[in-house]
Amino acid sequence: MTQEHLTTIDPLTEEVIATYPYMSDEEAGNVIEASQKAFRDWRLRSLDDRAEVIAAIGAKLREKKEEFAQLMTREVGKLLKDSRDEVDLCAAICDYTASHGPEVLADEEREVDGASAFVTHAPIGIVYGIQPWNFPAYQAVRYSIASLMAGNGVLLKHAENCTGSGAFLRDLYEEAGLPKGLFGVLFITHDQSDAIIEHDLIRGVTMTGSDKAGRHIAAKAGEVVKKTVLELGSNDAYLVLDDADLDLAVKTCVAGRIYNNGQTCVNAKRFIVTEANYDAFVKAYAEQFAAIEMGDPRDENTQLGPMVSKSQREKLHRQVEESVAKGARLVTGGEMPDGKGWFYPATVLADVAPGQPAYEDELFGPAASIIKAKDDEDAMRIANGSRYGLGGGIFSKDVEKARKLAAIHFDTGMVFINSFDVASPSLPFGGVKNSGYGREHGPEGLKEFVNAKAIKIAG
Ligand code: NAD
């Protein structure tokens, strides 16, 4: 082990917030054992009983909203407003799960010849989650609440940057009435994480993060034949078609790119605009981007806070510079500011083309890639040319046409028509291609980590 502690650092002041010693292998093993012990009782509790605890977690999240929001903003630099909204979303996930979980997970009678049969959704055991820093609460809540409703135990390895948020959530769940130890938090290295995946008591693995890490984790789980859900990155395309409402498209695409300091898997990232609208879109978009207020994320007027870390900022800047070197046009931003805080200005790249990082890869920060398409068909072709496929959007006044494009042609897991959004508790969330597989939220998410067991009774 090269480093003895996990360290959290405020991205605004660059000062250390806290350090957390790594757990020894034995300590990590104890967290697994405690979760398994609590699981033995939890799995026997009725669906309604479990739903009551989930509802109480939702209430507790609302009660502690301000405290949690302040901690998240401190750890990762999110706008305080976004942190508060995030806690509200987590509480809404608890509400949805508590009210729909018992029905979704109830036993189902099935027709079979000459016998009676039913399917029961049995818990599987402990689900291990590996999560990123960009939504310290939501990332951990969305898989854990579904798995707890299903009767499983849950472990969390959070990203180093938001270690405090992971611990906060564990304590909050227990204060709300979740059995002690059922939801365990691990302070471990990536090597130790590999051993957790192999541990006999771990029955499923869910990971949100980069496709690079996802490949490693899924391969490890594959070696020991354990189911995975992967929620990975993307470079979501928003199509601005010939008949788009241009004002709405510009305004929404600006907000969709800058939301959460530009560090969201489903941020709008590539804007594919047909020739008819291209010049006007670039001009209006750049004007709005150039006016974005960057500053302290706690200040109500701030629209863009600092990026989470020095390394993420450097990576983004390298991608912007390489894109420009390969022919992209820098319309605004693109310069690394001096001074404290890991700020990066709202940046617009136009004439983005194949071969440039802004076209091929994910830019995980406040930099927009604008791409010119010949016509509507060409825009759809460019969008689907990505190796990613998480979300996307369509701007068109012809909603019927947009619905068809979304349903039949858009090769992603989610599509937003004439809007930008992140997640809804009732709608499946997840991607295709290099954006991963499996779903969170909705009935689909509730059934990811259950044993759909078939039981047939003769006669
Ligand atoms: P990352 O993959 O580096 O880290 C994410 C988590 O995985 C962290 O907890 C990290 O410690 C852990 N991790 C990384 N390598 C690991 C390994 N070998 N073994 C065990 N754990 C490992 O991602 P990041 O750069 O911190 O986060 C940003 C990425 O996450 C972006 O690509 C973004 O699009 C993606 N993301 C996806 C979603 C989604 O729902 N699809 C949501 C948020 C973020």
In this prediction, residue 44 carries a pLDDT of 98
Catalytic residue among 86, 160, 231, 440: 231
Q: What six digits make up the tokens of 239? A: 């199509």
Q: Report which of 440, 411, 415, 416 is spatially closest to residue 428, judged by C-alpha positions.
A: 440
CB 313 within 8 A of CB 363: no
Q: How far apart are CA 184 and CA 167, in angstroms?
A: 9
- What's the confidence (pLDDT) of residue 1? 45
H or E element in which residue 26 lies? helix 25-42
Q: Which 3-state string (H, E, C) describes 383-447?
A: HHCCCEECCEEEECCCHHHHHHHHHHHCCCCCCEECCCCCCCCCCCECCEECCEECCECHHHHHC
Which one of 191, 210, 308, 444 would you pick to mutate in the ligand 1 pocket, going by the greatest count of ligand atoms within 8 A of its CB?
210
User: Of 94, 162, 253, 265, which residue is the catalytic one?
Assistant: 265
Spatial strand order of the sheet with 450-458 comes to: 108-112, 115-123, 450-458
Question: What pLDDT was estimated at residue 2?
Answer: 57
pLDDT for position 459: 81
Cα(205)–Cα(196) distance, integer angstroms: 10
Q: How many angstroms separate the alpha carbon of residue 39 from the centre of ligand 1?
A: 27
CA–CA dist 271, 395 (Å, integer): 10
Cα of 118 from ligand 1 centre, angstroms: 39
Which of 386, 380, 379 lies closest to 433, judged by CA? Answer: 386
Cβ(250) – ligand 1 distance below 6 Å: no
Residue to mutate, 232, 388, 433, ligand 1, most ligand atoms under 8 Å from C-beta: 232
With residue 60 as reference, give the H or E element that holds it.
helix 47-63
Rounded to the nearest angstrom, the distance between the alpha carbon of 355 and the centre of ligand 1 is 24
Does the C-beta of 110 come closer than 6 Å to ligand 1? no
Q: Ligand 1, from 82, 134, 235, 388: best to mutate by most atoms within 8 Å of Cβ? A: 134
Q: Is 306 in the pocket of ligand 1 (CB under 6 A)?
A: no
Residue 265 Cβ < 6 Å to ligand 1: yes
CA distance 90 to 74: 19
Give the whole-angstrom CA distance, residue 408 versus residue 382: 16
- Say if residues 124 and 450 touch (Cβ distance below 8 Å): yes
- What are the C-alpha distances in Å from 304 to residues 12, 65, 338, 340? 12, 21, 16, 15
Contact in structure between 91 and 97 (CB atoms under 8 Å): no
Q: Ligand 1 centre and the CA of 436: distance in Å?
A: 12
**What's the full length of the chain, in residues?**
459
Distances (CA, A) of 360 to 91, 213, 354: 36, 18, 7
Each residue's pLDDT tens digit in the chain (459 positions)?
Answer: 457 899 999 999 999 999 999 999 999 999 999 999 999 999 999 999 999 999 999 999 999 999 999 999 999 999 999 999 999 999 999 999 999 999 999 999 999 999 999 999 999 999 999 999 999 999 999 999 999 999 999 999 999 999 999 999 999 999 999 999 999 999 999 999 999 999 999 999 999 999 999 999 999 999 999 999 999 999 999 999 999 999 999 999 999 999 999 999 999 999 999 999 999 999 999 999 999 999 999 999 999 999 999 999 999 999 999 999 999 999 999 999 999 999 999 999 999 999 999 999 999 999 999 999 999 999 999 999 999 999 999 999 999 999 999 999 999 999 999 999 999 999 999 999 999 999 999 999 999 999 999 999 998
- Residue 20's alpha-carbon distances to 57, 128, 139, 263, 310, in angstroms, are 25, 20, 20, 25, 20
CB 323 within 8 A of CB 351: no
Handedness of CA 133, 135, 137, 138 (dihedral sign): negative
Neighbours of 284 (CB within 10 A): 18
Protein residue with its CA nearest to atom 39 in ligand 1 = 231
At residue 445, what is the residue type? G
> pTM for the complete prediction?
0.97
